[in-house]
Amino acid sequence: MTLSKLNKLNVLEQGSPKKIAAGAALAIVSYYVLRKKLPLIFSLLKSNKKPSSDSTRKHIAVNKEFFLKLKSLVKLMIPSVFSKEFMLLMLHTGSLVSRTFLSIYVATLDGRIVKTIVEKNLRKFILMLSVWLLIAVPATFINSLIRFLECQLALVFRTRLVKHAYKKYFKKQTYYRVSNLDGRLSNADQCLTEDINAFASHLAHLYSHLTKPFLDVSLMTYSLHRMSASKGVYSRTPAMLGLIVIIITGKVLRAVSPKFGTLVADEAQKKGDLRYMHSRIITNAEEIAFLNGHKVEHNLLKRSYTALIKQMDKIFWKKLWYVQLEQFLMKYVWSASGLIMTAIPIMNSKARRSDGRLIDDDPDGGVSERTMNFTTARNLLTTTADAVERIMSSYKEITELAGYTDRVSEMFSVFSDVAEGRYVRESANQLVGGGTVIATHDAIELTNVPIVTPNGDVVVPSLNLEIQKDMHLLITGPNGCGKSSLFRILSGLWPITGGLMKTPPPEKMFYIPQRPYMTIGTLRDQLIYPYTGEDMKKLGINDDSLDEIVKIVKLNHVVEREGGWDAKADWKDVLSGGEKQRVGMARIFFHRPRIALLDECTSAVSIDVEGDIYERIKSMGITMLTITHRPSLWKFHTHVLQFDGTGEWQLEKLDNSSRLTLNEEKKKLEEQLRDIPLIQTRLKDVCTMLGDDIPTQLTE
């Protein structure tokens, strides 16, 4: 539908210069809405200044920072004018424009139908009603298309953001560092799922919720003005009345509007906390059950849920009074104003026929014509008022969008900071990388490298270590002395805060923990992890090679028991502790790294199988760094690094016979120490029976 066609319907006719006043009123209304409800939107979209990712959480509102963050996210969602997202956006915009023109036509058609009823003209009534029903077909299709395209926009926006987020999340071990080295994102999973989805849905809905109302206000106000002018009425009173009511309503609602952006962001945070509490219980269910900790966990879960409920209840109460005031002003005050605005032109109308006769001189006194004009004007004015209402009420939705925008933007900022080695924690000692890392071929060298935890605790002030090929290192010491921390530093999980570290690239080192990770997939996927079946084919490795590996670690019975390499199961529960540890060791034989970092990885494996595995690894030329308490593994190592738990350390060659002798002597001394209390008690009893004095060393 075009404006030229509307002219043929007597809605838009030639006016006079006096119409400039009404046009100016329309411009003032549009300007007010833009300035009061979407402040700084034009100037900010031209700004290239980026928000700081280092700052702490600020007050969330519809301000300059919000538009800057929104601008950066929109660039991610719509990368170019040739993208699928931009095409969908244009199609959606076209549907909204078409719906506005159809609304104008239907409003005019309603007036014509009412006129035929007043005139009691059955033939014209049936004709107009038929046209009305025909128009309903494209109108309903466009309505459905608008909803469909809104959902599609939300989906493609979410897809773009999720792909970008996943790319950053798995870059430079961000998925590990964001929760272990940085303290800004407590629930990354909540941000990656719920927050991105809510942001994309809110933005797509808000675009539809704002674009059509702006079109409705502009075109329908213009149509009302042209219609009024064609009837010979040029009063500025209706336009001024509408403008005054809108301005007063806007100022009142803005003054009493709650801070929905902050409220929604807090609600999302508490939802993430509750989800974390549930996942924490699932992850640690066995330990909690062993310790009968269900009461404590129950109370923690109730506390988290109660905090969420209180926040939601707080939002509901604030919405109750705000929506009541909003509905009163926009439904009833505006309806009363609309009736006045419609009545003034009709009551003062001096319209004439083409032959110069006044319409009031018609046989019915101009009743049918006035009824038609009133119905058309009322429909147009109702649609315009509804559009302005949606624009003004959308401020609440914009503030909610600000909350999700802040959450998603903060997530991307944290991901970028963590990938660059910038961490922020609540602890007093901040972890700052200040050392140098250099890649080597197959040797490890640490020069004055401190072992510092993510909390900033210094475990070892300075470590100097050099490991060459065929040098196998045994690492010992009490708990918390820095054994596993050394592995995290060598693997690049923790940054070094000083000194120089030379290591092979991460893909040339392989870490096996005490509890190997079991992925989702087939039995084959467990053995070749982190490779996939496609990677295995590219390397030219088949299942026969895997059969040879499982024979080394004595797992061939598992392959037969589970039904072959393509079997799928929840391997974390299906395999025993020893079987999972042997799967972890099998990965060493599949990947053949230059250096193996072994952290108590055979504690549940029998000593004979353990010995065969270590002997085979050693024969393959793989350098082993092993943390263990088993003396049976000493013979497979050439050097020992011993931490004493106070920050001191000692590196020396491993003399197996001497160390075994010392170990046996230690056991005998421990047994003798255990007998001392019994000997002392017996000596006291004997002295008492003999009547002798108890030795002074027993009474001290």
Pairing verdict, β 509-512 and 444-452:
unpaired
In sequence order, what are the residues at sequence separation of 6 or more whose Cβ sits closer than 8 angstroms to the Cβ of residue 358?
350, 351, 352, 366
Tens of pLDDT, residue by residue over 498-514, are 899 999 988 899 999 88
Q: What is the pLDDT of residue 103?
A: 77
127 and 242 share one domain? no
From 426, 450, 480, give the residue that closes a domain.
426
In sequence order, what are the residues at sequence separation of 6 or more whose Cβ sits closer than 8 angstroms to the Cβ of residue 539?
531
Answer for the pair 62, 395: CB distance below 8 angstroms, yes or no: yes
529 and 415 share one domain? no
Report which secondary-structure segment, H or E, holds 210. helix 196-230
Structural domain contains residue 24: no
Residue 438 pairs in a beta bridge with: 502
Ramachandran region, residue 9 (left: φ > 0; alpha: ψ -120 to 50; beta: rest): alpha
542 and 668 share one domain? no
Answer for the pair 191, 407: CB distance below 8 angstroms, yes or no: yes
516 and 505 share one domain? yes
Q: How many domains is the chain built from?
A: 4
Q: What is the pLDDT of residue 295?
A: 81
Residues of the chain under the 50 pLDDT cut: 1-57, 355, 360-361, 364-365, 428
222 and 244 share one domain? no
Interhelix angle 122-169/367-419, rounded to 10 degrees, is 10
Report which secondary-structure segment, H or E, holds 473. strand 473-476
Q: What is the pLDDT of residue 114?
A: 75
156 and 243 share one domain? no
Answer for the pair 639, 471: CB distance below 8 angstroms, yes or no: yes
Containing structural domain, residue 130? 62-233+390-426
Q: What is the pLDDT of residue 36?
A: 44
594 and 458 share one domain? yes
Residue 501 pairs in a beta bridge with: 437, 446
Q: CA–CA distance from 50 to each of 41, 54, 261 (Å)?
A: 16, 12, 20
Structural domain contains residue 25: no
Q: What is the pLDDT of residue 426?
A: 67
Q: How would you class 468 by CB atoms within 10 Å of its CB: exposed for 0-12, middle for 13-18, buried for 19 or more? A: exposed
Structural domain contains residue 380: no
| CA separation for the pair 601, 617 (Å, rounded) | 14
91 and 228 share one domain? yes
448 and 462 share one domain? yes
Structural domain contains residue 676: yes
| CA separation for the pair 81, 87 (Å, rounded) | 7
Structural domain contains residue 578: yes
Tens of pLDDT, residue by residue over 10-67, are 333 333 333 333 444 444 444 444 444 444 333 433 333 333 333 344 567 778 888 8
Answer for the pair 240, 29: CB distance below 8 angstroms, yes or no: no
272 and 187 share one domain? no
Structural domain contains residue 200: yes
Report which secondary-structure segment, H or E, holds 667. helix 656-690
140 and 205 share one domain? yes
Q: What is the pLDDT of residue 679?
A: 72
171 and 274 share one domain? no
Structural domain contains residue 246: yes
Residue 224, CB-side half-sphere exposure with 13 Å CA sphere = 33
| CA separation for the pair 524, 546 (Å, rounded) | 8
Q: CA–CA distance from 300 to each of 37, 280, 293, 296, 305 (Å)?
A: 41, 11, 11, 6, 9
Q: How would you class 675 by CB atoms within 10 Å of its CB: exposed for 0-12, middle for 13-18, buried for 19 or more? A: exposed
The helix/strand/coil state of 476 is strand
Answer for the pair 37, 394: CB distance below 8 angstroms, yes or no: yes
